[in-house]
């Protein structure tokens, strides 16, 4: 499987200004791409285009050479799984019932999940290590647990590409680190992972590729270690930032320089 | 082997056993109340005679009852009881479907304006003295127009919140009741107006078998399709975008569900005018009993709605010598009951 994004451009209907344009990159199994950008730069919009929720104005998204535009949502869902940023549940489904909904693309229009689908859901919960939540109502677990459960749902979906919209946004510090580790683990087990984030440190920890979306809608793409620099990050966020090497952690970290 | 483990790590088996128990109890309750409805009223018929009279149509039973009894059952009580079952089950099912599809536990056929839209359509047809089939078609068209406006308003505002849809329903409801006012104002005060007002308040007293021949197939077909979509409704209840990323063809599935749920409501309106609260309260009651999973909720809501409606109809004909309109009783029972549900669920509604 290979996902390719070619010269993608998007603006909302009735708005002239392109949110982003000429976004091109590719991703293979086992890779992680983090997308950095300021608030309102269009990170989530880009992700929504890849999730087939928005239709790009220009350019194309190809899965193994097939255009996303020509595929039905059911087919797309077998390739691309999406973990939204916040999920406000309206109904108290049990965690198992929620995770098994990841099987929807494999279930016929009038069918209901079979035993095999439940096994896949349980396997996904086991893989993330949250089987203890299985019978809990989805409305009564914490935000961090909910995020984990949604990731379990995407695993039950068995896609090739997993899109995560700011997976660390609503998590406490410990959970942010654990989430970053989980993202790396998912990629190492063969998924292609694309996530948006506000934390340069998380990008560095993931040790893979980064795409930077600036306010003018330009997209810079490459290996994090090659691209991330003091000047790029300072320009992006309009504050003085410095990458400092930490001996104990054996990696760079991004620190505000003067404030 | 996997399923051995599966049974143990989740409480799924226990919960479906509980569901089966509840459904068996509900079905028995429905059968009981169905026959009760045949026996009580101004002319009372012994309970077992009513069963025997029904069975006599199929089995050769020596009649131990009067001709009047048989006439009362077949011409009056059986049609209205069947109508009550169809209306109650249909309204509850359509309410549950709307609530899941819009990811919004606060909506119902009345709150979305479907009932009043259907009422306008049917009233127009009555005004021009149309036949039953035309009345039903117009009720459906009115319902579809009303729900389309209600759904369009949040879209135009780019606001998909729970509250926005409810507000939009209030707007459409207000508009519809004004239009209804215009229709009533222009109707002939001596004939059409009285008929329309009485009908709109909801009564099963005049339901005949012949009415059911037109309407029952619509209710059964639309209900059947909604039940087929019960799992898709679970996925839709996560929200439009999530359902789409899970591979649901949201646009088309939503259309089918809106058409079926509206057809159910419009058919109920044709039989007995606007009957409020059933489509709002019964799905909530169902969720309390069997949980939010539409695979269990929809069948449970159908039976609960049917039981509720037959009970309301029994009350309507026994409470006072002149029959009370159904919508008055559903409101008197439904509103306080909904208040009680809100208190119980206050944690889960935001």
| Digit-coded pLDDT (tens) for B227-259 | 999 999 999 999 999 999 999 999 999 999 999
Question: What is the pLDDT, as a whole number, of residue A252?
Answer: 93
Count the alpha carbons within 13 Å of A190 in the hemisphere toward its beta carbon. 6
The pLDDT assigned to B348 comes to: 55
Mean pLDDT throughout A103-131? 95
- Residues A7-21: tens digit of each pLDDT: 999 998 888 888 999
> CB-based contact (8 Å) between A104 and chain B?
yes
In this complex, the residue of B11, B103, B350 whose CB is nearest that of residue A135 is B11
Q: What's the CA gap between B246 and A48, in Å, rounded?
A: 13
Would you call A52 and B5 a contact, using CB atoms and an 8 Å cutoff? no
A37 interface with B at CB cutoff 8 Å: no
A with B: how many residue pairs have Cβ under 8 Å apart? 102
C-beta neighbour count of B331 within 10 angstroms: 14
Distance CA B115, CA B94 (A): 11
Cβ-defined contact of B295 to A112 (cutoff 8 Å): yes
To the nearest whole Å, the CA of A202 is away from the closest chain B CA by 26
Smallest Cβ–Cβ distance between B247 and the set A73, A89, A134 belongs to A73
Residue B9: which of A48, A77, A131 has the nearest Cβ? A131
Please report the domains of chain A, with CATH numbers, ordered by start residue. Answer: 2-228 (3.40.50.300), 230-259 (no CATH)
Contact predicate A96/A122, CB 8 Å: yes
Q: Do B100 and A101 touch (CB under 8 A)?
A: no
Residue B6, pLDDT > 50, answer: no
Torsion-angle region of residue A64: left (phi > 0), alpha (psi -120 to 50) or beta?
left
A134 phi-psi bin (left φ>0, alpha ψ -120 to 50, beta other): alpha
What ipTM does the predicted assembly reach?
0.93
Q: What is the pLDDT of residue B2?
A: 45
pTM: 0.93
The residue written with tokens 């591979």 in the block is B247
pLDDT for A259 equals: 57
The CATH homologous superfamily to which domain B80-348 belongs is: ABC transporter involved in vitamin B12 uptake, BtuC (1.10.3470.10)
Distance from CA of A145 to the nearest CA of B (A): 17
pLDDT for B320 equals 79
Q: Which own/partner contact pairs does A181-190 have at CB distance under 8 Å and 24+ positions apart?
A: A182/A128, A182/A151, A183/A32, A184/A32, A186/A151, A186/A155, A186/A162, A187/A30, A187/A31, A187/A32, A188/A30, A190/A29, A190/A30
Helices (H), A200-251: 200-206, 224-227, 230-237
Nearest by CB to B235, which of A51, A101, A139? A101
- pLDDT band of residue B350 (cuts 50, 70, 90) is low
> For residue B106, what are the contacts with CB-CB under 8 A and spacing of at least 6?
B99, B162, B166, B349
pLDDT tens digits, residue range A216-238?
889 999 999 999 999 999 999 99
Burial label, B18 (beta-carbon count in 10 A; 0-12, 13-18, 19+): middle
> How do the domains of chain B map onto residue ranges?
80-348
**Most A CBs within 10 Å, among B1, B2, B10, to test the A interface:** B10
B232 touches B253 (CB < 8 A): yes
Give residue A164's pLDDT band: very low, low, confident or very high (50, 70, 90). Answer: very high
How far is it, in rounded angstroms, from Cα B317 to Cα B115?
24
Residue from A76, A80, A82, A101 to probe the interface with B (highest B Cβ count within 10 Å): A101
Is there a contact between B229 and A109 if contact means CB atoms under 8 Å apart?
A: yes
Whole-number Cα distances in Å, A118 to A42, A171, B195: 36, 28, 55
Mutation target among A90, A138, A162 for the B interface, most CBs of B within 10 A = A90
A53 contacts in chain B (CB < 8 Å): 241, 244-245
What average pLDDT score do residues A69-79 get?
Answer: 94
A93 close to B (CB below 8 A): yes
pLDDT, average across residues B284-295: 95
Q: Name every chain B residue with its beta carbon within 8 A of the beta carbon of A97.
A: 234, 293
DSSP secondary-structure letter at A90?
S
pLDDT (mean) for B88-92: 98
Burial of A238 (0-12, 13-18, 19+ CB in 10 A): exposed
Percent above pLDDT 90 for chain A: 88
Q: Any idea what the Cα angle at residue B143 is, between residues B138 and B149, rounded to 5°?
A: 125
Q: In whole angstroms, what is the distance from residue B225 CA to residue A2 CA?
A: 39
CA distance B264 to chain A (A): 20
Helix/strand/coil (H, E, C) string of B21-69?
HHHHHHHHHHHHHHHHHHHCCCCCCCHHHHHHHHHCCCCCCCCCCCHHH
Q: What is the mean pLDDT of residues B159-180?
A: 90
Residue B57 pLDDT:
87
């Amino acid at each position: 499987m290979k996902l390719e994004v070619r010269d993608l451009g998007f603006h909302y209907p009735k708005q002239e200004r392109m949110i982003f344009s000429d976004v091109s990159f590719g991703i293979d199994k086992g890779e992680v791409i983090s997308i950095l950008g300021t608030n309102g730069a269009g990170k989530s919009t880009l992700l929504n285009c890849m999730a087939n929720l928005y239709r790009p104005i220009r350019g194309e998204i190809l899965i193994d050479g097939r255009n996303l535009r020509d595929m039905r949502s059911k087919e797309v869902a077998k390739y691309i799984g999406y973990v939204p940023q916040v999920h406000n549940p309206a109904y108290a489904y049990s965690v198992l019932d929620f995770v098994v909904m990841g099987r929807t693309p494999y279930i016929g229009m009038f069918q209901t999940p079979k035993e095999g689908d439940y096994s896949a859901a349980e396997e996904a919960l086991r893989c993330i290590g949250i089987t203890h939540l299985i019978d809990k109502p989805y409305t009564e677990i914490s935000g961090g647990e909910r995020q984990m459960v949604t990731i379990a749902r995407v695993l039950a979906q068995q896609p090739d590409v997993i899109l995560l919209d700011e997976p660390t946004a609503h998590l406490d510090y410990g959970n942010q680190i654990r989430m970053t580790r989980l993202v790396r683990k998912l990629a190492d087990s063969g998924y292609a992972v694309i996530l948006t984030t506000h934390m340069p440190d998380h990008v560095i920890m993931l040790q893979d590729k980064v795409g930077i979306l600036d306010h003018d809608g330009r997209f810079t793409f490459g290996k994090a270690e090659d691209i991330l620099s003091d000047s790029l990050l300072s320009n992006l966020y309009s504050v003085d930032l410095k990458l400092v090497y930490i001996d104990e952690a054996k990696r760079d970290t991004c620190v505000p320089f003067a404030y | 082997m996997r399923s051995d483990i599966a049974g143990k790590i989740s409480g799924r088996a226990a919960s479906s056993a509980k569901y089966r128990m509840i459904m068996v109890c509900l079905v028995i309750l429905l059968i009981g109340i169905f026959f009760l409805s045949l026996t009580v009223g101004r002319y009372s018929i012994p309970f077992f005679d009513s069963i025997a009279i029904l069975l006599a149509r199929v089995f050769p039973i020596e009649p131990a009852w009067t001709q009047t009894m048989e006439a009362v059952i077949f011409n009056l009580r059986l049609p209205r009881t069947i109508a009550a079952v169809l209306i109650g089950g249909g309204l509850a099912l359509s309410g549950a479907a709307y609530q899941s599809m819009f990811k919004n536990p606060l909506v119902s056929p009345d709150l979305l304006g479907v009932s009043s839209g259907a009422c306008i359509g049917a009233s127009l047809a009555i005004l021009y003295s149309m036949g039953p089939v035309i009345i039903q078609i117009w009720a459906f068209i009115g319902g579809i127009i009303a729900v389309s406006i209600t759904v369009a308003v949040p879209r135009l505002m780019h606001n998909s919140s729970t509250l926005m849809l409810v507000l939009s329903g209030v707007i459409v409801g207000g508009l519809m009741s004004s239009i209804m006012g215009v229709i009533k104002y222009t109707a002939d005060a001596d004939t059409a107006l009285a008929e329309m007002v009485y009908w709109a308040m909801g009564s099963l007293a005049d339901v005949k078998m012949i009415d059911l021949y037109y309407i029952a197939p619509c209710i059964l077909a639309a209900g059947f399709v909604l039940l087929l979509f019960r799992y898709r409704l679970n996925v839709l209840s996560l929200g439009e975008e999530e359902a789409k990323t899970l591979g649901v063809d949201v646009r088309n599935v939503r259309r089918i569900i809106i058409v079926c749920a509206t057809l159910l409501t419009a058919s109920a309106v044709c039989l007995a005018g606007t009957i409020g609260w059933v489509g709002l309260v019964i799905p909530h009651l169902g969720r309390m009993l069997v949980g939010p999973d539409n695979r269990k909720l929809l069948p449970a809501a159908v039976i609960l709605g049917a039981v509720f409606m037959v009970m309301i109809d029994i009350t309507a004909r026994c409470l006072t010598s002149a029959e009370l309109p159904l919508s008055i009783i559903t409101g008197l029972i439904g509103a306080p009951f909904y208040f009680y549900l809100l208190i119980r669920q206050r944690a889960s509604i935001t």
